[in-house]
A and B are shown apart, each in its own frame.
Chain A
């Protein structure tokens, strides 16, 4: 687990566990408790989810501590409801097994949940970390083998950092055009 200014180790671990629920990844090592290891390859955490949540541009940084506490509060409630016996050495959300994390996340993200908007925001930052690596310049992220962009097969730029695709078309008619198309090519 990395060290992030302004957040306690427990808070970071909790946020990582949530991000890993959104886009799961493989554990960073045998001692990794935040990442559940539910998928192969790096997930949202390895893609920079907490870095993105903390970015000053994003607007979430100031409330991350309370979001982490909120997740753990919901996890305590969930644990009691389901009748689980959590590991007290890690934060309650982290103590949940992967399937329970998913079940709780589904509750929090469901239409009608009073805090849905909060948890959707946190989920979006988690997803965007994987899909875009928006805490980094995209060229740098590609060069560093960013797990999300790499897994998606995002094609790299040309050496000048600009994307160009000179081949882009099958170059032939592939359907009859609509019979009520005007000479200019618009619908009638």
Chain B
């Protein structure tokens, strides 16, 4: 047999679910290898550029499915590099959700209260900063003022952003060139490297097999740094423990492909996918009404016209985050920004005589793009996503050199999910169309189906083996030694941005992974330390490829 590299712990993916265990296990004395299929970029390589091949396509992934499209990170640092860093804790009622199961989705050991210490650790490590009205952008301000005008409340949203460094450029989806966004490149990942963890970018894990001795062989390919469709190398690493954190659109696919060598997967692997109940509406503001009705003025003669200015979401309405309301009727509404392209194609022209998402009417509303306000719905969907058979490699068939691929996720929204969306759409219209402030249309779902920037639950935790793939320690049922710690472990939609909860669950999982590693003869301890916060993201080590 070919000699191959060995490590105590192999981590698949370097987003929140991978970086957090990688840091703690390395700090505790284990040898750790992190395989990340995307490239390793740092602040000076993040570009303000829409051009194909710039960082905007190198670090971002758009995976088309049947009825569901997933947008996420594809780089060292994963989602933390491309996200908007909005970090609210999930409300208490979320942990009591039943969905359509008729019983609690979450393990009984996890509640908001039991998760608080783990949230606290993440908040300190990144760090997350509480926001004030001075931090709320023009777009967030218009939304808050419209909420207020409609008798609603609105909150500044906490974020993992150093606002002293932030320039409000709104290029966050291409990575932050100012290191203002407190991504994992500034805390857990450099600290993991300092403790000896080896992070290998452009290494895409394909499958896992078990050795007769009970260790794992993790098979990977190495992808070309420009054309991700091209594989330039392949290899195997042996590990005593495997942490799968490839993201909710990839983790179940790796496990499905591994069935042949690992044995049958729990039935919930690749089922119960949630898109976090996400949906978008675009309001096209009437600048005069913004000034007259809301009394807003930028001080430079403009009332708003600031769609381009900011840093993603800065204000949200939590009026429907009310645990006394029935399930599938609770949601948050968050002001958001998407750049042209992602943020424009599915938007619809109100009162279009012809087609609403393309054509002459669409062009007319695009001319008013600076007066657009994007409102993001995060609601309770019905975990209706199911992954079909895995593609030959990766989690999807790549169409473009970078960014665009076609996977096997099927999602047909149930009546319960659509009910929540309809309530939220109506709520947004009530807030944003009041007294002629704007015209609002939801993005069309008829072109590519639904979409999410927060994929969840495709390999979820729970107490019931039939409907959950992981026990409450994040260990994969029937496959001891394999842990899943990314968004796929979260049982269902959270009604708020999920990164903070994913990170807290990853923190919570670490002592369990340490115990499993110890039981397998790894000399590792759980120290409970936190990574020091760096000011500047550092270059990838020169030796970035396998042995």
> Do A and B form a real pair?
yes
Nearest residue (CB) in B for A131 is B340
- Given A127-B344, A166-B167, verify A178-B51 contact (CB < 8 Å): no
Of B50, B363, B496, chain A has the most CB atoms within 10 Å of the CB of B363
Q: Is B318 an interface residue (CB 8 A)?
A: yes
Chain B 299-340 interface mask (CB, 8 Å, partner A; 1/0) = 110000110111000010111010000000000100000011
- Given A57-B57, A131-B366, verify A169-B358 contact (CB < 8 Å): no
Could you tell me if B344 and A131 are in contact, using CB atoms closer than 8 angstroms? yes
Q: Is B296 an interface residue (CB 8 A)?
A: yes
Q: Is B40 an interface residue (CB 8 A)?
A: no
Q: Is A34 an interface residue (CB 8 A)?
A: no
Of A111, A141, A149, chain B has the most CB atoms within 10 Å of the CB of A111
User: Hey, which chain A residues are within 8 Å of B364, CB to CB?
Assistant: 39
Nearest residue (CB) in A for B50 is A132
Could you tell me if A111 and B318 are in contact, using CB atoms closer than 8 angstroms? no
A127–B358 Cα gap in the complex (Å)? 8
A23–B341 Cα gap in the complex (Å)? 13
Could you tell me if A162 and B48 are in contact, using CB atoms closer than 8 angstroms? yes
- Given A132-B340, A163-B169, verify A187-B130 contact (CB < 8 Å): no
Could you tell me if B340 and A181 are in contact, using CB atoms closer than 8 angstroms? no
Q: How far is the CB of A99 from chain B (nearest CB, A)?
A: 8
Interface residues of A in 130-174 (CB under 8 A from B): 130-139, 141, 148-149, 151-155, 157, 161-174
Could you tell me if A164 and B52 are in contact, using CB atoms closer than 8 angstroms? no
A180–B322 Cα gap in the complex (Å)? 9
User: Hey, which chain B residues are within 8 Å of A174, CB to CB?
Assistant: 133, 136, 141, 144-145, 148, 154, 296, 315
A113–B131 Cα gap in the complex (Å)? 47
Main SS class of interface, A: loop
Could you tell me if A172 and B400 are in contact, using CB atoms closer than 8 angstroms? no
Q: Is A177 an interface residue (CB 8 A)?
A: yes
User: Hey, which chain A residues are within 8 Å of B344, CB to CB?
Assistant: 127, 131
Q: Is A6 an interface residue (CB 8 A)?
A: no
Question: Which of B54, B155, B345 is in CB contact (< 8 Å) with A127?
Answer: B345
User: Hey, which chain A residues are within 8 Å of B14, CB to CB?
Assistant: none
Could you tell me if A134 and B141 are in contact, using CB atoms closer than 8 angstroms? no
Of A131, A133, A174, chain B has the most CB atoms within 10 Å of the CB of A174
Nearest residue (CB) in A for B112 is A188
Nearest residue (CB) in A for B299 is A167
Interface hit among A64-72, A89-97, A102-110? A102-110
User: Hey, which chain A residues are within 8 Å of B156, CB to CB?
Assistant: 177, 185
Interface residues of B in 150-203 (CB under 8 A from A): 152-156, 158, 167-171, 177
Q: Is A31 an interface residue (CB 8 A)?
A: no
Q: Is A75 an interface residue (CB 8 A)?
A: no
A134–B310 Cα gap in the complex (Å)? 22
Q: Is B286 an interface residue (CB 8 A)?
A: no
Chain B 250-277 interface mask (CB, 8 Å, partner A; 1/0) = 0000000000000000000000000000
User: Hey, which chain B residues are within 8 Å of A177, CB to CB?
Assistant: 153-156
Could you tell me if A163 and B155 are in contact, using CB atoms closer than 8 angstroms? no
Q: Is B135 an interface residue (CB 8 A)?
A: yes
User: Hey, which chain A residues are within 8 Å of B363, CB to CB?
Assistant: 23-24, 39, 43, 130, 151
User: Hey, which chain B residues are within 8 Å of A123, CB to CB?
Assistant: 358
A175–B151 Cα gap in the complex (Å)? 9
Could you tell me if A170 and B298 are in contact, using CB atoms closer than 8 angstroms? yes
User: Hey, which chain B residues are within 8 Å of A153, CB to CB?
Assistant: 305, 367, 369-370
Could you tell me if A23 and B138 are in contact, using CB atoms closer than 8 angstroms? no
- Given A57-B57, A105-B355, A174-B133, verify A133-B321 contact (CB < 8 Å): no
The size of the chain A interface, using a CB distance under 8 A, is 72
The size of the chain B interface, using a CB distance under 8 A, is 83
Could you tell me if A165 and B154 are in contact, using CB atoms closer than 8 angstroms? no
User: Hey, which chain B residues are within 8 Å of A184, CB to CB?
Assistant: 89, 123, 130, 158
A165–B154 Cα gap in the complex (Å)? 24
Could you tell me if B358 and A23 are in contact, using CB atoms closer than 8 angstroms? yes
Could you tell me if A111 and B446 are in contact, using CB atoms closer than 8 angstroms? yes
Nearest residue (CB) in A for B402 is A57
User: Hey, which chain B residues are within 8 Å of A185, CB to CB?
Assistant: 88, 130-131, 155-156, 158
Q: Is B230 an interface residue (CB 8 A)?
A: no
Q: How far is the CB of A38 from chain B (nearest CB, A)?
A: 5
A59–B399 Cα gap in the complex (Å)? 6
Q: Is B529 an interface residue (CB 8 A)?
A: no
Interface residues of B in 385-401 (CB under 8 A from A): 398-401
Could you tell me if B141 and A165 are in contact, using CB atoms closer than 8 angstroms? no
Nearest residue (CB) in A for B51 is A137
Could you tell me if A39 and B360 are in contact, using CB atoms closer than 8 angstroms? yes
Could you tell me if A176 and B171 are in contact, using CB atoms closer than 8 angstroms? no
Could you tell me if A157 and B48 are in contact, using CB atoms closer than 8 angstroms? yes
Could you tell me if B138 and A169 are in contact, using CB atoms closer than 8 angstroms? yes
User: Hey, which chain B residues are within 8 Å of A21, CB to CB?
Assistant: 358-359
Q: Is B540 an interface residue (CB 8 A)?
A: no
Could you tell me if A179 and B153 are in contact, using CB atoms closer than 8 angstroms? yes
Could you tell me if B169 and A170 are in contact, using CB atoms closer than 8 angstroms? no
Nearest residue (CB) in B for A162 is B48
Q: Is B279 an interface residue (CB 8 A)?
A: no
Could you tell me if B169 and A128 are in contact, using CB atoms closer than 8 angstroms? no
Q: Is B49 an interface residue (CB 8 A)?
A: yes
Could you tell me if A57 and B53 are in contact, using CB atoms closer than 8 angstroms? yes
Nearest residue (CB) in A for B345 is A127
User: Hey, which chain B residues are within 8 Å of A172, CB to CB?
Assistant: 133
The 11 listed contacts between A and B (C-beta, < 8 Å) are A59-B401, A105-B359, A110-B446, A131-B345, A135-B52, A148-B366, A151-B363, A152-B366, A174-B136, A178-B155, A187-B321
Taking A127-B344, A162-B48, A162-B169 as given, write out 9 further A-B residue pairs in contact, using a Cβ cutoff of 8 Å, ordered by the A residue number. A21-B359, A39-B360, A59-B404, A137-B54, A154-B369, A166-B167, A169-B135, A174-B148, A177-B156
**A-B complex: 7 closest residue pairs judged by Cβ atoms:** A175-B148, A57-B52, A175-B154, A131-B340, A59-B400, A164-B167, A132-B50
